[in-house]
Amino acid sequence: MRRGVIFDIDGTLIDSVDAHAHAWHRAFAHFGYDIDFAAVRAQIGKGGDQLMPVFLSDDELERFGKQLDDFRADLFKREYLPGLQAFPQVRGLFERVAAEGLKIALASSAKGDELETYKQKAHIGDLLSAETSSDDVERSKPHPDIFAAALEKIGLPEPEVMVVGDSPYDADAAGKLGLVTIGLLCGGFAEADLRRAGCVAIYEDPADLLAHYRDSPLAGG
């Protein structure tokens, strides 16, 4: 029996994947690295601690990794975050989940201050039982730390909780804890990639999941 749902945010609830990719792409360029935009975008869903090592050596990370991450974070908050919007029917989906008696938690690789902005944009703050961000853990997705922290805060065992996310990194991280993941395509990842990572069902976006809620794994379908 499901008693709780953990939602990813970027690309799942908020249309932010391209914005994050552009911020990272510009940050790498600022530090002299011409990295293909598509290669950067494919890594969105990870936190900076897991994304930067894909493109930088250990020595580079030691020398200027923190400065690059700080530059990226400031750029994102200044130029991209204010214009982001929630996907349609995010609050409607959360209201349906809450009406079914399920607890709701957020688990994001975003930083804590970004998480607060996202909650306001999606109008979901009053429907949450718990939330975690990259500030709460040492390692971001695809490590399971953020989901483990969310489980602890929501106070439910793994078999009673599902995850909703948009990236293979969500499903990979959740699977390491035995959590079942529903995948959404609105983050731009291919359905085949989500299924390979372990997603048991795929929907276009929060509105599509809400429209098919009765037959979805959230309702036992």
Task: Write down the pTM of the prediction.
Answer: 0.96
Angle of CA points 206, 14, 109, to nearest 5°: 115
Nearest to 108 by CA among 126, 134, 73, 128: 134
| Per-residue pLDDT tens digits of the chain, which is 221 residues long | 789 999 999 999 999 999 999 999 999 999 999 999 999 999 999 999 999 999 999 999 999 999 999 999 999 999 999 999 999 999 999 999 999 999 999 998 788 888 999 999 999 999 999 999 888 898 999 999 999 999 999 999 999 999 999 999 999 999 999 999 999 999 999 999 999 999 999 999 999 999 999 999 999 87
Residues 101 and 79 in one domain: no
Residues 141 and 73 in one domain: no
Residues 79 and 89 in one domain: no
The domain that holds 131 is classified in CATH as: 3.40.50.1000
- Domain membership of residue 27 as a residue range: 17-83
Total structural domains in the chain? 2
